[in-house]
Each structure stands twice: as C-alpha cells, then as structure tokens.
Amino acid sequence: MMSQHQQKGISLIEVMVSLIILALGLLGLAGLHSRSMIMSQSSYYRGIAADLSADLADRIRANRTPYLGSGEDGATPLPPDFSKCTQSGSNADQISCNTQDSNRQAYLVSNEMTEWNSALRAQLPGASFTLVPANSQSAGFLRYTLTVTWVDDRSKTSSSADYNSSYTTVIE
C-alpha cells in the first residue's frame, strides 16, 4: 500500500515534461516557417533580377540586329555601346547616357535603358545596376557584365550591416 501513495505525483511530472518537449518542438517549427518565408522572398527577388537581366540582354541583342553585317569595313557604324548609360548618382531613377563613340550608332540606347531602369526600380527595392564591357569582343560587338544590386534586408541577420543582394550575368 505504501508504494501506491508514493507514485501519485509522477504522472503530473510526466505530463509537464511532455508539454515542455511539445512546446519546444512547436517553437522550432515556428522558427523554421519564419526562415522559410524569408528565403522565399529572397528567392523571389533573385528571380526578378534574372528576368530583368534577360530582358536587358534581349534589348541589347535587338539593337545589334540591324548592324550584324556592318562595321568590318570601317564605313558602316557599329551597334551602340550600352555601357555608356549609367544611373544618375543623385537619383537612381534617372539614366544618363554619354555620347557614343564616333564609329557607333546611338539608336534607341537612351530609350531602352530608361525603360529598363524604370522596370528595375519598380520591381526590386533600392535597385541599382552596373553594366561594364567585358574584356573580349567579336567584330565590334561588345560583351557586357551586368550586375544588379537590390536591398534584401529580410535575408540577413539583424547584426549584419550589409543588406544588399546582387545578381551578375554576362551578356553576349
């Protein structure tokens, strides 16, 4: 009879321990879900950057098409150099295009880059870009390295000072 009396509080302790284990498991799942949402948003932004990079590549190629057979004789102008257009330092919504070299056309460069930059700025938070000519070129047709940078403060820890994410591609 004495052993039954000593066992009365044990089931309550077992229930409390199992509730603590269950609570810790649920907290872990909530943290996992939160992190999954953060990474999903970051992946969404990266997908937008890839789509916009492909859009700019298509715009560059479309502006090259009228000049595919030109430039080799030196008399016919080469296609435009898109790297002459940059975001304005004071206002990233504005594009400033420098004058094309004398042997290159300026056909629609400013319009194309302004439209593309507007789409970039509308779809990615705090977006900016750099477009630089790559080292090699083929018959005057420039290769570019495009880097798109945007603010992605959800994917970093709060102690991190750098919230920028970037996507880099080569346009041929």
Assess contact for 170 and 130: CB atoms under 8 A.
no
- Each residue's pLDDT tens digit, 11-65: 888 899 999 999 999 999 999 998 888 888 889 999 999 999 999 999 988 887 6
Q: How far apart are CA 163 and CA 141, in angstroms?
A: 35
Closest CA to 80 of 93, 62, 94: 62
The pTM assigned to this predicted structure is 0.73
